[in-house]
Amino acid sequence: QQGEVSNTPEAHDQSYLCPVTVGGQTLNLDFDTGSADLWVYSTLMPTSEQRGHSVYNPDSSSSSNAQSDNSWTIQYSDGSGASGTVYADKVVVGSVTATSQAVEAATSVSSAFIKETHNDGLLGLAFSSINTVQPTQQTTFFDTVKSTLAKPLFTAHLKKGAPGSYDFGYIDTSKYTGSITYAHVDTSNGLWEFTASGYAVGSGSTVATPYDSIADTGTSLLYLPTEIVAAYYGEVNGAMYDSSQGGYTVPCDSNLPDFVAIIGGSRHTVPGSYINYAPISETSCFGGIQANDGIGHSVFGDVFLKSQFVVFDGSNSPRVGFAKQ
């Protein structure tokens, strides 16, 4: 099988949500290549926390089966989290169907999620080795359906301020220009982890330096080594590290330089305008490039990914591919 589902950006392209049917009930989920749990808002949560969301009601699904011995709890790098119980149910993404997918029904979610009123949960697309269900670890939607897909891959086509798509099982050549360049993925941390080999700022010269990175659709910004971040903002008049904001800010009227990442031996360019992420005040804007301190690797999040067509190849030698949109 193969299929396509649309994604729609939240404000500032902070996240991208896709309609998914779970036991015949449609929820809008954040597809996250940085985690491996499919969890949903549910009727098991306090009613007040459900308000404004579409929720999964396992009792009203004719295809749900409680996995009563299993539970889950997840913490994300931004400090948010959720926990709950587990059901097996039918999950449909576009036209791709998992007849019995582990659906992690939330009993509790952290305040950061409650604030995202259109987000009804996450669909993890990292490797199942980091799924949090205990005592019996479960597979991601992609791993559940992979053997039934025409090709064992999915693609991400995220756009700046406009709907895009995720495709499963095929590469739509109309969604990119030029060629796709691939980088080998190291799956030992359960992530789409690769090594970028250099960078350039604007029209500046290319600096060859390897940096361990992940492709993460569930992270909004582009997190890079501190020396690369300093080199970038060193080219921006009025840029500053503002500890009260927790990162670099730029004047909102800046003409920001492009950022070029060298991956798979090719140049992949983020337009400077994508690096003006969101206004903080009348004149100050939060930078879309921030330091990766404390994360342990660089994170190619939506600020970068929305300039690319990205292939997540789950074959026996996993790799990520990037092409210009």
In the complex, the residues that contact ligand 47G under the rule CB under 6 A are: 15, 30, 32, 34-35, 76, 78, 80, 112-113, 116, 119, 218-219
Q: How far is the CB of 169 from ligand 47G (least distance, A)?
A: 24
Which residue in the list 30, 216, 258, 302 is annotated as catalytic? 216
Residue 281 sits at the vertex; the CA angle it makes with 278 and 286, to the nearest 5 degrees, is 35
- Contacts of residue 298, Cβ cutoff 8 Å, sequence gap at least 6: 196, 211, 212, 213, 214, 223, 224, 225, 292
Query: Least Å distance between CB 246 and ligand 47G?
Result: 15
216 is catalytic: yes
258 classed as catalytic: no
Rounded distance, CA 299 to CA 23, Å?
Answer: 33
- We find the least distance from the C-beta atom of residue 130 to ligand 47G, in angstroms, to be 12
3-state secondary structure 136-150: CCCCCHHHHHHHHCC
The sign of the dihedral angle between the CA atoms of 97, 103, 106, 112 is: negative
Shortest CB 112 distance to ligand 47G, Å: 4
Choose the catalytic residue: 13, 30, 32, 258.
32
Label the pairing between strands 298-300 and 207-215: parallel
Report helix, strand or coil for 12. helix
What's the distance, CA 179 to chain centroid? 23
**Catalytic annotation, residues:** 32, 216
